[in-house]
């Protein structure tokens, strides 16, 4: 299969070029799949969302989107996938609530790479089960983009639902495989996807699982999710949303002593991380205004159960990685 971007391909930077690309891909997908069914793992991230929107235009209900909620998504994300794709775009969307399954499998698993393996393997298992429930699938769509093919950086490849058993090795449909990220966003916008889906910051495949350090527990996972939602809200309100490359919270698996309403507390800290980078190989720390950090600290310690401190991570990459696990 040809995996080199044609030299003649213009950089898609305008709506007109995006529309031309969309028309071209609609024709190509129809020529490839005819009236057969296509399966897509739709995480709600930029790439799989753009593939979904494009294929819905090309083949409508012959695209079967499977959204696996593994419990490690950010606050509001599974709901938004259902709202945008099922309610607004009338997609054929299978929503799988696999939260208990994943959290049960992850119970007691503390080693970071092992956690990734458990999450990846369980994802394949859930996806395989859903694929088997469908009749007549002949193709698998993937949100592969050009940097995934070039393997240019440490952003781990996450688009391939490799690992499916032999009898489920469908022919691939990869309409974005020659696009760079900025082009995917322009195409997504032209397809009518909401801004907070198209311009969203990178999010690791294992999701909040690598930000709830050590063995994941439901209460600490909720603390990660709620504190992340507060951070995102405050960054959006204060004009940092489009400016900072990646920002999130981390909750470690230890507690410290504090005092709340005159009583001793023994609770988790929340670590805030906000970094800028071009390619994720190196990163610098965002100089977040101190008053905003104080306000975020105030909100997190008041609103998030089980938390009594907030720390700001001042470490560039190197020596720290962007994620903590």
Residues forming contacts to ligand XMP in the complex (CB under 6 A) are: 116, 154-156, 158, 202, 204-206, 246, 280, 317, 321-323
Q: Which of 294, 305, 296 has its CA nearest to residue 226?
A: 305
Strand ranges in the chain using DSSP code E only, listed in sequence order: 37-41, 63-69, 92-97, 137-141, 171-173, 246-250, 256-260, 263-276, 284-285, 307-312
What SS3 state is found at 164? Answer: coil
Closer to ligand XMP at the Cβ: 204 or 269? 204
DSSP state of 190: H
Closer to ligand XMP at the Cβ: 43 or 92? 43
Closer to ligand XMP at the Cβ: 206 or 269? 206
For the bound state, the minimum distance from the C-beta of residue 277 to ligand XMP, rounded and expressed in Å, comes to: 8
For the bound state, the minimum distance from the C-beta of residue 160 to ligand XMP, rounded and expressed in Å, comes to: 11
Contacts of 163 (CB under 8 A, 6+ apart): 120, 121, 124
For the bound state, the minimum distance from the C-beta of residue 182 to ligand XMP, rounded and expressed in Å, comes to: 16
Closer to ligand XMP at the Cβ: 9 or 157? 157
For the bound state, the minimum distance from the C-beta of residue 73 to ligand XMP, rounded and expressed in Å, comes to: 13
For the bound state, the minimum distance from the C-beta of residue 206 to ligand XMP, rounded and expressed in Å, comes to: 5
Closer to ligand XMP at the Cβ: 307 or 322? 322
Joined tokens for residue 227: 């504190």
CA distance 63 to 85: 11
For the bound state, the minimum distance from the C-beta of residue 79 to ligand XMP, rounded and expressed in Å, comes to: 22
Quick check: 140 and 40 in contact, CB under 8 A?
yes
Closer to ligand XMP at the Cβ: 95 or 245? 245
Q: Are strands 137-141 and 171-173 parallel, antiparallel or unpaired?
A: parallel
Rg of the chain (C-alpha set): 21
Closer to ligand XMP at the Cβ: 71 or 204? 204
**By CB neighbour count within 10 A (0-12 exposed, 13-18 middle, 19+ buried), where does 16 fall?**
exposed
Closer to ligand XMP at the Cβ: 147 or 306? 147
Residues in the chain: 325
For the bound state, the minimum distance from the C-beta of residue 6 to ligand XMP, rounded and expressed in Å, comes to: 27
For the bound state, the minimum distance from the C-beta of residue 284 to ligand XMP, rounded and expressed in Å, comes to: 12
DSSP per position, 10-32: PP--SHHHHHHHHHHHHHHHHHH
Residue written as tokens 């991380």? 273
């Amino acid at each position: 299969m040809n995996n080199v971007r044609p030299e003649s391909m213009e950089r898609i930077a305008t709506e007109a070029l995006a529309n031309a690309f969309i028309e071209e891909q609609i024709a190509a997908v129809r020529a490839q799949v005819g009236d057969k069914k296509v399966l897509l793992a739709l995480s709600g991230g930029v790439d799989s969302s753009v593939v979904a929107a494009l294929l819905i235009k090309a083949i409508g209900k012959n695209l079967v989107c499977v959204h696996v909620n593994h419990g490690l998504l950010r606050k509001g994300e599974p709901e938004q996938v259902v709202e945008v794709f099922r309610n607004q775009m009338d997609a054929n969307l299978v929503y799988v609530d696999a939260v208990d399954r994943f959290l049960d499998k992850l119970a007691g698993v503390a080693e970071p790479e092992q956690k990734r393996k458990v999450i990846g393997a369980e994802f394949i298992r859930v996806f395989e089960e859903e694929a088997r429930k469908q009749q007549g699938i002949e193709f698998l769509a993937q949100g592969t983009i050009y940097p995934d093919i070039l393997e240019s950086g440490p952003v781990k490849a996450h688009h391939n639902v490799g690992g499916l058993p032999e009898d489920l090795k469908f022919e691939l449909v990869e309409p974005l495989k020659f696009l760079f990220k900025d082009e995917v966003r322009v195409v997504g916008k032209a397809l009518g996807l909401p801004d907070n889906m198209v311009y969203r910051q990178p999010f690791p495949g294992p999701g909040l699982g690598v930000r709830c350090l050590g063995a994941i527990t439901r209460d600490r996972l909720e603390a990660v999710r709620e504190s992340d939602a507060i951070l995102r809200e405050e960054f959006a309100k204060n004009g940092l949303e489009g400016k900072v490359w990646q920002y999130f919270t981390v909750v470690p698996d230890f507690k410290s002593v504090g005092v709340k309403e005159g009583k001793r507390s023994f609770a988790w800290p929340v670590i805030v991380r906000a970094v800028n980078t071009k390619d994720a190989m190196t990163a610098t720390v965002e100089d977040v205004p101190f008053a905003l950090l104080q306000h975020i600290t105030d909100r997190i310690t008041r609103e998030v159960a089980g938390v009594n401190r907030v720390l700001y991570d001042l470490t560039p990459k190197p020596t720290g990685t962007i994620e903590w696990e």
